[in-house]
Amino acid sequence: MKTRKISTAILLLMIAMTATAQCSFRNTAFKSGEFLSYNLYYNWKFVWVKAGTASMSTVESTYKGHKAYRSSLTTRGNKKVDNMFVLRDTLLCYSSTAMEPLYFRKGAREGKRYTVDELFYTYPNGKVNVRCHRQHNDGTHAWKTITPNSCVFDMMNIFMRARSFSSANWKKGHVVDFPIADGKGQAPARLRFNGTTKIKADNGKKYRCAELSYMEYEDRKWKEIVRFYVTDDHNHVPIRLDMFLKFGSAKAFLTNMKGLRNPITSEVK
């Protein structure tokens, strides 16, 4: 599975900021010690089957001697569905306490393929510099450096940042464009706001959620990668994700959340 499709993206609500702003942003959505867990389901020949689990954690750590947030996302498929599609993804990112992207790593097993992407961010003289690394399935390595004129994000760092953004004034159909990066370099991405709805999680509770679509520009057209639903409160916790894959579709439903920064005010009867 493309890891961009899991989280969301998953999950990408922030307009790109200028390099001179040092790519900083306020964090109002999470704190150290947050833990989220999910059930994964895969659609195989029109039948939904339990495919595995996913978990995400955020803790305060250090990166090159400075305080930083360390966030990790792990997806694990079960053996029952391995003959359909092997799902073994691990994502890791570091961001400064001012929400500047610092590092990203994605290890993804997609069927029989295994690749690793890494991004190393620096900000010399107020400019953005990103060293991009990809380890291919055959063990070869490719390196590329990009120096964009505005801030660029990977899917994990933009997700952590985006949770502090508010869509309260957005109208249905509102679109936000931003740059996204991986081991191959930079590409355009887009977020579309689809309004609000009620979603039942796998913890048995219902939540009022903002519905958003994460899209990438492929073959000269915008393609929806993941549709996700986040709590319509200050936490913006992803409750459900609908992922559109090359080999079918998958869904993730929240099973548990703890260590939240803010009260959950989006729960409904």
Q: pLDDT in tens for each of the 269 residues of the chain?
A: 444 444 443 344 333 333 334 689 999 999 999 999 999 998 877 788 888 999 999 999 999 999 999 999 998 877 766 666 666 788 999 999 999 999 999 998 776 788 999 999 999 998 999 999 999 999 999 999 999 999 999 989 988 988 898 888 899 999 988 899 999 999 999 889 999 999 999 999 999 999 989 898 888 999 998 898 999 999 999 999 998 876 678 899 999 999 999 999 999 98
Strand-pair partners of 15: none
pTM confidence score: 0.85
Which residues is 248 bridged to in the sheet?
245
* pLDDT tens by residue, 164-214: 988 888 999 999 888 999 999 999 998 899 999 999 999 999 999 999 898
E strand residue ranges, the chain: 34-44, 47-63, 66-77, 87-96, 101-110, 113-122, 129-135, 141-146, 175-182, 185-200, 206-218, 221-231, 238-245, 248-258, 267-268
Find tokens 């803790």 and name the residue. Answer: 59
Domain ranges of the chain: 3-268
For 53, 68, 69, 118, 223, the CA distances from 97, given in Å and listed in that order, are 29, 5, 6, 20, 33
Chain-centre distance for alpha carbon 203: 21
